[in-house]
Chains A and B, each alone.
Chain A
Amino acid sequence: MVSRPHGGRLIYRVATGKRREALLEEAREVPRLDVGLERAIDLLDIAYGAFSPLEGFLVQEDYISVLEDMRLHDDTPWTIPIVLDVDPAEIADVSEGDDIALFYDGKPIALMRVEEIYGWDKKRHAQLVYKTVDVNHPGVAKTLARKELLIGGRIDLINEPPNPFEEVTLWPRETRVLFRERGWKTIAAFQTRNVPHRGHEFVQKAALTFTDGLLVHPLLGWKKKGDYKDEVIIEAYKALIANYFPKNVVVLAGLRMNMHYAGPREAVHHAIVRKNFGATHFIVGRDHAGVGDYYGPYEAWDLFNEFPDLGITPLFIREAFYCKKCGGMATEKTCPHPPEYRIKISGTRIREMLRRGEKPPEYMMRPEVAEVVLKYSNPFVE
């Protein structure tokens, strides 16, 4: 059976039909707050249930509980605070209990009931979520640049920001139906923001040996400079799946969700989100959701031990390498040979080669995948 939604109920706060029309009308009459693409993406994740059981941006009680204890106030595990920041001037005419309209790119996208307006300590937030206040950390830099107040409250989605990947975007209700239609009872989810190399393929296939299906779930949303562009990731995965996986064992679906680079906390967050999509297992790799040297390579694995009630099974799969003696991909647990036989599959090295227009050797990246990436004049985020 696919996973139970996190917190027990799959949230769906997408207004349709007459209710949507009424809310659109209301949006013209209530105070307006403009938000950027990242908050618009948070709104999508809340409304479509990817962030179940959240029904809106966190109120203070939940915010503090998530920050300090990595749980919502009702004890449900939750590790990344999902908050809406505002400048005091933007909400000068807004009081707790009011409805406001959230606009993106000149268009109303959601109605929000302002349950609470509260201050926050951004440095403490950064320290607890990212374990550092170093401004070179992209998540910290973003946090410190955010506005002075937070507002919490339920939302209703009334319009969506444009989605360039509509044909590969699925939401939790859809993947849950899809898994049932395929007869899958166990599903391993793989989070990614990279094009696949042989190491990724190895861990995906390792998981597939004991689950019915694999959900390849790349993040589509804000990423840091130097990461692969969304369209490159999707096309590269299509090539890998078409050439190296049996039919009907993989679902490739894009997930519109922001990346925080919060390492261990974000690894747990990623697992929770995939649970909402129906996954029963979640692959946690080396330095999951990490950046630079801020987190230990397997630090995320330890954090999972604090959540016996997560409701999704983490699969801790060690980094794979190519072993010349074994003649294939292997891990510390499967290969007895000394380091001189082992070739590390380095994402950084692969990126450098691709940047120079070179095709990485086949033991690092499948040629069909490399060809897709090399088709792009610049496959990286600028």
Chain B
Amino acid sequence: MAEKKGKYTTVSIPVTLYNRIKRLIEGTGFTSVSQYVTYVLREVVAEHEQASQEEPFTEEDKERIIEKLRKLGYI
């Protein structure tokens, strides 16, 4: 699917789920179902992204860094 342009787009969810969320957010700080869904999705997506972590440096970099940390007295 092509990327959507603009600030917002539409995603379909079952009406039953929509109503359930609407009831759930009553009296909370969430002002709309969209706001709640955005919040929850961001939380879930971030968790998935977190799981795919890789070391941001090579073994060679690491050795060099350890040497510097030793010189500075950190280890």
Contacts and interface: CB of A to CB of B under 8 A. Distances in A.
Interface of A: 1, 4-5, 8-10, 12, 49, 69, 75, 167-168, 170, 172-174, 176-178, 181-182, 251, 305, 307-311
A4 B57 contact: no
A308 B65 contact: no
B29 A305 contact: yes
B45 A178 contact: no
Given A4-B53, A173-B56, A309 B43 contact: yes
Interface string B44-71: 0110011011001100011001101100
Contacts of A10: 56-57
B11 interface: no
Contacts, number: 57
B42 A75 contact: yes
B25 interface: no
B43 A181 contact: no
Chain B interface helix/strand/loop/mixed: helix
B75 interface: yes
A181 B72 CA distance: 15
Given A251-B74, A308-B43, A177 B56 contact: no
Contacts of A308: 39-40, 42-43, 46
A181 B68 CA distance: 13
A73 to B, nearest CB: 10
Contacts of B72: 167-168, 170
Contact of A177 (B39, B42, B49, B66): B66
A170 B73 CA distance: 12
B34 to A, nearest CB: 14
A182 B74 CA distance: 10
B57 A178 contact: no
Contacts of B46: 308-311
B49 to A, nearest CB: 6
B56 A178 contact: no
Contacts of A251: 74
B42 A309 contact: yes
B66 A181 contact: yes
A4 B49 contact: yes
A173 B61 contact: yes
Contact of B65 (A1, A177, A309, A311): A177
Contact of A170 (B42, B52, B66, B74): B74
